[in-house]
Amino acid sequence: MSTAAQFQIDADRTTADEPRRAAVRKALGNYQIARGRTESAFASWPHARDAAAAIKYEGVNHLDRYLREFEEKFTARGGRVFWASNGAQARDYILRLARERGVKSIVKSKAMTSEEIHLNDALEKDGYQVVESDLGEFIQQLKHEAPYHFVFPCMHLKREEISALFQQELGSAKTDSPEELTMIARRALRRHYLDAGMGITGGNFIVAETGMISITENEGNARLATALPRIHVALVGIEKIVPRLADLALLLPMLATAGTGQQLTCYNSMYGGPRQPGDIDGPEEFHVVLLDNHRTRLLADAEQRDALHCIRCGACLNVCPIFKNIGGHAYGTTYQGPIGSVITPHFRGLQDWKHLSGASSLCGACTEACPVKIDIHHHLLQNRRNAVAEKKVWWERWLWAGFRQLMKRPWAYQIAVRLAPIGQVFHHLVLGTSLDPVRPWTKTRDFPEAAPQSFHDWWRDRKVVRK
Partner 1 sequence: MRVTLFIPCFIDSFYPKVARSIVQILERLGHEVDYPAGQTCCGQPPFNSGYWDEAREVAVRQMAIFRDAEVVVSASGSCGAMFKKFYLELFHGHPQEAEARALAAKTSEFSEFLVEKLGVRDVGARFEGKVTFHDGCHGLRELGTREAPRELLRAVKGLELVEMGEAESCCGFGGMFAVKYPQISTAMAEVKCNSIIETGVEYVVSNDSSCLMQIQGYLSRHSPRVVKSLHLAEVLAAQ
Q: Which residues bind partner 1 (CB under 8 A)?
A: 8, 11-12, 15-16, 21, 25, 321-322, 324-326, 358-365, 367-368, 378, 381, 384-389, 392, 396, 400-401, 403-404, 406-408, 410, 413, 417, 420, 438, 440-441, 443-451, 453-456, 458-460
Q: Which is nearer to partner 1, 144 or 463 (CB)?
A: 463
Minimum distance of partner 1 from residue 361's CB (angstroms): 3
Minimum distance of partner 1 from residue 391's CB (angstroms): 11
Q: Which is nearer to partner 1, 75 or 424 (CB)?
A: 424
Q: How far is CA 255 from CA 8, 59, 67, 133, in A?
A: 32, 17, 21, 21
The answer to whether the CB of 236 falls within 8 A of the CB of 203 is yes
Element (H or E) spanning 81, and its range? strand 80-84
Phi, psi of 235 (to 5 degrees): -105, 110
Q: Which is nearer to partner 1, 158 or 458 (CB)?
A: 458
Q: Which is nearer to partner 1, 178 or 437 (CB)?
A: 437
**Closest listed residue to residue 299, CA positions, set 64, 117, 52:** 64
Element (H or E) spanning 23, and its range? helix 18-39
**Closest listed residue to residue 7, CA positions, set 344, 322, 392, 356:** 356
Minimum distance of partner 1 from residue 54's CB (angstroms): 22
Minimum distance of partner 1 from residue 323's CB (angstroms): 10
Q: Which is nearer to partner 1, 33 or 88 (CB)?
A: 33
**Closest listed residue to residue 302, CA positions, set 34, 61, 10:** 61
β-strands 205-207, 212-217 pairing = antiparallel
Q: Which is nearer to partner 1, 29 or 178 (CB)?
A: 29
Q: What is d(CA 204, CA 313) in angstroms, rounded to the nearest whole number?
A: 10
Q: Which is nearer to partner 1, 426 or 447 (CB)?
A: 447
Quick check: helix, strand or coil at residue 213?
strand
Minimum distance of partner 1 from residue 417's CB (angstroms): 5
The answer to whether the CB of 90 falls within 8 A of the CB of 289 is yes
Minimum distance of partner 1 from residue 388's CB (angstroms): 4
Strand ranges (DSSP E) for 85-201?
Answer: 105-108, 129-132, 198-201
